Chain A
Amino acid sequence: MNDVVLKISLQELCQYEGLTEQLIVDVVSYGITEPTEGHSVADWVFDTSSVYWLQKAARLYHDLEIDWVAVAMVIDLLQQKEALEERNRIIEQQLNRLLE
C-alpha cells in the first residue's frame, strides 16, 4: 500500500517543484495561498491542493510578465469561477431532479 501525503513542505516545493523560496514568499504575501503550518518561512508546510495554485501563479507570473498583484487577482477570479461553476452544476442537478 502506498502512503498518501496531504502536505508538502517549503523545502520540498523548492526541491521538487522547481519553485524558489522567494517566489513562494511572494505568493504567500499576496494572499494567493497560505501555509497550513509553520511560524517561520523555513518551517512552512502547505496542503497539497496549494501546489496546483502555486504552480499556476508561477506560470502566470513568468509567462504573462505581470506583477504579483495582477497574478493574485487572476488566481482569485479563477478560484471564484471554479466555485461558481461548481455551484451552477449543483443547482442544475437539483433543478433536474425537481423537474424530472
Chain B
Amino acid sequence: MEFKDYYALLGVEPDADNKTIKTAYRKLARKYHPDVNPDSGAEDKFKEVAEAYEVLKDAGRRAEYDELFRYGGSRDNGFEAPPDWRSSAGFGSATAEQFDGDFSDFFTSMFGAGGSHFHQQQSVLRGQDAEIEMPVFLEETLTDIPKLVEYVIHMVENGQRYDRKKSLKVKIPMGVTDGERIRLKGQGGAGQGGSPSGDLYLHIRLVPHPLFDVEGHNLVVTVPLAPWEAALGTKIAIPTLAGAINLTIAPNSQSGKKLRIKGKGLRSKSGSGDLYALLKVVVPATSNDDVRDLWKALSEKACFDPRAEWSKPS
C-alpha cells in the first residue's frame, strides 16, 4: 500500500496551521473540481486533494495521521499500518460528497470506509444512479420511438466491484431535445441489502444530420442554387424530415437569404418548430467556350457592380 503524503498533496508544510491548510485546499479545489475543470486528469487530482483535506481539517484525524506520518511516512518500499492500529477519530461527519466511498486504499485502511456520509444512510445502500449518452436521430424525435438501450453499470456486491452489461427497451418520448435528460426509475446500479436500485438517466444527444442543422426547435437546410435559378426564380423540391415539399424561389434571390417553412421543424411541447431554407448560390466549377461566351454577354448586358458600396463616398 502506498503511503499518502497529505501535506505534499496540499502543498503545505507538516506544521502548517488550519488556516493554511484550508486556504491550500480551497485553491486546489477551485482549480481541479471536475464541475469546473473538464480536463481528464482533474477529477483524480481533486479526489486526492479532497481526501487529504478530509483528514487534515479535523484535529483528531490529523493527530492520528501525524502519528502514522512519523511511523511510516518516510519509508520507500510500501506502507503497512502499525500492528495494533485502530482509528478512534474515524468518520462521523465527513461531507465530501464527491467520493461515494471512493477513497484511496490508504485512507480506507487507516480511517475506515465510512467516509462518505453526505448521503443519508439509506441512500448509501441504494444503488448508484447512472447516466449514459443516448444518440437520437432527428427523424426519431417526431414520434414516440422504441429504442434499445445498452449500457454497463458498476456494481458493488460484498465489497467486490464489477461491471455488468444491461440492455432494455425504452420508449423515447416525442419531441426530445438535445441535452435533455430523461429518467428511468430503478435501472441504475443495484442496491445493497435489499435497498432499491438507482435510476438511469439518458442524456439525449441529437445525431448530426447530413442535411439539417438544429437551432432550438427549428431546422436549417442549406439549398444550393445555380446563379440563373437565383436570378430567374424557380420551384424546387426541398427535403424535410417527413418527405419533400415544393418551395418557390423568388426571382433575384440572394445567397444567405432564409426562407421559412412553417411547422416543418422539430416537435416541441409547445408545437412544432419551423424549417428554414438557407439559399446558397453556387457557380459551376468548369464551363465550356459556349457557356463562357454567354457569361461574357451577360456581364456586358447586366451593368452590375457588386462592389458599388465600396466606391460610395463615406
Query: Which residues on A are within 8 Å of B, measured CB to CB?
Result: 1-6, 8, 15-18, 48-49, 51-52, 56, 58-60, 62-65, 74, 78, 82, 86, 90, 93-94, 97-98
Contact = CB atoms under 8 A, between A and B. Distances in A.
A17 B97 contact: no
Contact of B222 (A6, A60, A97): A97
Contacts of A1: 146, 169-171
Contacts of A62: 95-97, 118
B12 interface: no
A8 B33 contact: no
Interface in B201-251: 201-202, 208, 213-215, 220, 222
Contacts of B182: 4-6, 48
A16 B198 contact: yes
Interface residues of B, number: 50
Dominant SS at the B interface? Answer: mixed
A96 to B, nearest CB: 10
Contacts of B118: 18, 62
Contact of B126 (A4, A16, A94): A16
Interface centre among A59, A63, A97 (most CB of B within 10 A): A63
B84 to A, nearest CB: 34
30 contacts: A1-B169, A1-B170, A1-B171, A3-B185, A4-B172, A4-B182, A4-B184, A6-B183, A16-B123, A48-B183, A49-B180, A51-B183, A56-B35, A58-B97, A59-B33, A62-B118, A63-B96, A64-B33, A65-B26, A78-B35, A86-B178, A86-B179, A90-B213, A93-B208, A94-B213, A94-B222, A94-B278, A97-B278, A97-B280, A98-B278
Contacts of A6: 173, 182-183
A48 B97 contact: no
Contact of B199 (A16, A52, A78): A16
A5 B183 contact: yes
A47 B252 CA distance: 48
Contacts of A5: 182-185
Contacts of A49: 179-181
B169 A2 contact: yes
A32 to B, nearest CB: 13
A53 B183 CA distance: 15
Given A2-B170, A4-B173, A94-B213, 14 more contacts: A2-B184, A2-B187, A8-B183, A48-B181, A58-B97, A59-B35, A63-B29, A63-B50, A65-B22, A78-B35, A86-B179, A90-B214, A98-B278, A98-B280
